[in-house]
Amino acid sequence: MFIIGELINGMYQNIAKALKEKNKAVIQECALEQVKAGADALDVNCGPGSRDPVSDMQWLVETIQEVTDKPLALDSSKPKVIEAGLKALKHKGVINSTTADPEKLEILVPLAKSYAAKLIGLCISSKGIPQNKDQRMDLAATIVAYCSEQRFPIEDLYLDPIVMPVNVAQAQMKDILESIREFKIISDPSPKTIVGLSNVSQGTCARSLVNRTFVTMAVAQGLDGAILDPKDTDLMDALITAELILNKQIYCDKYLDAYRKK
Ligand code: THG
């Protein structure tokens, strides 16, 4: 499972404050804690309050790279912000994300190719968030078709079905989960799949329980990656155990320790 730590996001007050004050220590500690907790990569999002996201993205990337070599997932809806992040990267990264809109694909797919970055494709377009599985499949197929045409390696494409909060879209959860499995049959080689996990529990009580139950069900559908809070140990334990049960991790009496020592 490709685990992207979600905590460096200007949506969080501590990060927004550190970004405003250019306080490196707060960002670097957040990066290191997530890596220690098992993150394979770190999401980097300037948040809605950033007045200059291009220079904030560059500063965040440079600041994080002073303490870790883990890949960074440049999270912005603005291609210019993503490009600023790519220019500052020392190692291969992740573009988070393109939509299925041609104007996004035309800029971001060539950028992903030239920086050898992985690409997250959100199953969404300017027409809005899909309302059912067929619409998700259509958007996913549009993204895969464009990437194939442009000879972007499909193994580096992560399709995101767009996870909605269960308290606003309860009737869609089954479709979202099933899309994860069905995205795999769009092409050979198959695209990979990823979710922004914490979306599912936004505004709910018992967030951690909702997150870990959803992730377990998504792993059963073949999920390849998740943007999540790696410091939530119960969540990480559920994820590792789900992979164990699907024979994706070796079984031993201390499998949680074994996984963490990898
Ligand atoms: N797909 C992709 N990228 C994404 C998302 C996605 N990036 C952003 C987001 N969704 C994933 N990251 C988060 C980060 C935090 C929260 C949810 C998703 C979150 N934050 C608290 C909240 O809103 O309640 C903030 C709490 C606080 O202010 O301290 O839930 O879906 N590709």
Q: How much is the average pLDDT of 223-248?
A: 96
pTM for the model stands at 0.97
- Residue 40 DSSP class: S
pLDDT confidence of residue 259:
84
User: Ligand 1, from 42, 227, 231: best to mutate by most atoms within 8 Å of Cβ?
Assistant: 227
Rounded mean pLDDT, 110-139: 96
Q: Would you state the pLDDT for residue 250? A: 83
Name the pLDDT band for 252 (thresholds 50, 70, 90).
confident
Distance 199 CA to ligand 1 centre (A): 6
Residue/partner pairs of 241-248 with CB below 8 Å, 24 or more apart: 242/215, 242/216, 243/1, 243/219, 246/219, 246/220, 248/1
Nearest CA to ligand 1 atom 19: 198
Q: Whose Cα sits closest to atom 27 in ligand 1? A: 12
**Distance from Cα 188 to the centre of ligand 1, integer Å:** 31
Average pLDDT along the chain: 96
Cα–Cα distances (Å) from 90 to 23, 66, 70, 108, in that order, read: 21, 10, 10, 19
Over range 249-254, report the average pLDDT.
84
What's the pLDDT band for 258 if we cut at 50, 70, 90?
confident
CA distance 54 to 80: 7
Instruction: Please tell me the predicted confidence (pLDDT) of residue 46.
Output: 98
Encode pLDDT of 160-212 as tens digits: 999 999 999 999 999 999 999 999 999 999 999 999 999 999 999 999 999 99
SS3 52: coil
Q: What integer pLDDT is reported at residue 253 of this predicted model?
A: 84
Q: Which of 55, 12, 47 is nearest to 33 (CA)?
A: 12
Q: Give the residue among 194, 219, 211 at the shortest CA–CA distance from 98.
A: 194
Give pLDDT, residue 73.
98
Query: Which domains occur in the chain, in start order?
Result: 2-230 (3.20.20.20)
Check whether 262 has a pLDDT greater than 80.
no
For residues 226 and 248, the answer to whether their CB atoms sit within 8 Å is: no
What pLDDT digit, counting tens, does each position of 33-75 carry? 999 999 999 999 999 999 999 999 999 999 999 999 999 999 9
Q: What is the pLDDT of residue 216?
A: 98
pLDDT value of position 255: 84
Tell how far the Cα of 253 is from the centroid of ligand 1, in angstroms: 34
Q: What percent of the chain has pLDDT over 70?
A: 100
**Ligand 1 first shell, C-beta below 6 A:** 6, 9, 11-13, 45, 75, 96-97, 120, 122, 160, 163, 196, 198-199, 202, 227
Instruction: Determine the 3-state secondary structure of 152 from DSSP.
Output: coil
pLDDT of residue 233: 97
- 153 pLDDT band (50/70/90 cuts)? very high
Residue nearest to atom 9 of ligand 1 (CA): 196
Q: Whose CA is nearest to atom 3 of ligand 1?
A: 196
Quote the tokens at residue 83: 């490009």
Sign of dihedral through CA atoms 227, 232, 234, 236? positive
Residue 196 CA to residue 6 CA, distance in Å, equals 9
- In this prediction, residue 254 has a pLDDT band, given cuts at 50, 70 and 90, of confident
Q: Which residue's C-alpha comes closest to atom 29 of ligand 1? A: 12
Q: What is the mean pLDDT of residues 210-231?
A: 98
Q: Flag whether pLDDT at 79 surpasses 80.
A: yes
Task: Report the pLDDT averaged over residues 146-154.
Answer: 98
Q: What is the mean pLDDT of residues 1-28?
A: 97
